[in-house]
Structure 1
Amino acid sequence: MTASNELRLLPWSGPDDKPCYLSADDTSGYLSRLADSAEETQLGLGTELLAHAVEVLTDGVSDPEELRFLATDLTGALRDAVRIATSRGRRLNPTHYSHEGPSTHLI
């Protein structure tokens, strides 16, 4: 889990799109659970958006404005997914992971 001197990157941004962080010593705290829920929601919406994108791109009749809106929504979903991956990557216990991938030991 997160070392006591590290901060958790939250799945939302603050003013001027600056990253927000949380001291994550207590992963069962209210804000940690809220962040977990927000990540789950963001990833679920990204999955739904991806399915919609496949439909739009295969229908062959989408106009440029619809494609621009789709690209904007996909950009936001990708930004969320990258932020979540970055946050989770920082919280991995490095002793259980190497350049070869995760170990088979349970934490």
Structure 2
Amino acid sequence: MTDAVARLLPWAGPGGKPCFLVSDGTGYVSRVADNIEVAQLELAAGLVKEARRVLAGRAWTPGELHLLEVELTDALADVHRVAESRGARLPASDHDPEVIGADGE
């Protein structure tokens, strides 16, 4: 296995602990993770659209707002995990604060 990296998977393990996969990104589990990430991002986009519709109508019930808050919170947690996972797999850039020294070089 060449160029193997640890990837944060889009699901949690027992006790809510993060799951990682060490892979070159071409295996079956990587493809499953990619598909789940796509589904999570699509769900989040749909919830944002629904939230805008509900809020624009200005005729919501407390129950509707509570359900929307719960769903948006779950979706935000998923999107954050996807961003963290994908960000960790990006190569460091010249603009990365951890790469640039204190003198800016």
TM over 0.5: yes
1:83 aligned residue: 81
Structure 2 unaligned blocks of 5 or more: 97-105
Partner of 2:101: none
- Between the aligned partners of 1:89 and 1:18, the Cα distance in structure 2 is 19
5 Å-filtered alignment, 1:43-54, equals 43-54=41-52
The number of residue pairs the alignment matches comes to 95
**3-state SS of 1:12 partner:** strand
Could you say which residue in structure 2 is the equivalent of 1:103? none
Alpha-carbon shift at residue 81 of structure 1 (Å): 0.6
Identity of aligned residues (%): 46
Shift of 1:98: 2.7
Answer with 1 or 2: which has the greater Rg: 2
Give the Cα separation in 2 of the matches to 1:30 and 1:43: 20
The answer to whether structure 1 residue 57 and structure 2 residue 38 are counterparts is no
Q: Aligned-pair distance for 1:16? A: 1.7
RMSD, aligned α-carbons: 1.6
Output the TM-score relative to the length of structure 1: 0.82
Q: Which amino acid aligns with 1:93?
A: P
Which stretches in structure 1 are left out of the alignment for 5+ residues?
Answer: 101-107
Distance 1:79 1:8 in 2: 17
Q: How many angstroms does 1:40 deviate by?
A: 0.5
The equivalences for 1:1-107 within 5 A come to 4=4, 6-25=5-24, 27-94=25-92, 97-99=93-95
Greater RCO, 1 or 2 (C-alpha within 8 Å, sep 6+)? 1
Deviation at 1:15, TM superposition (A): 1.8
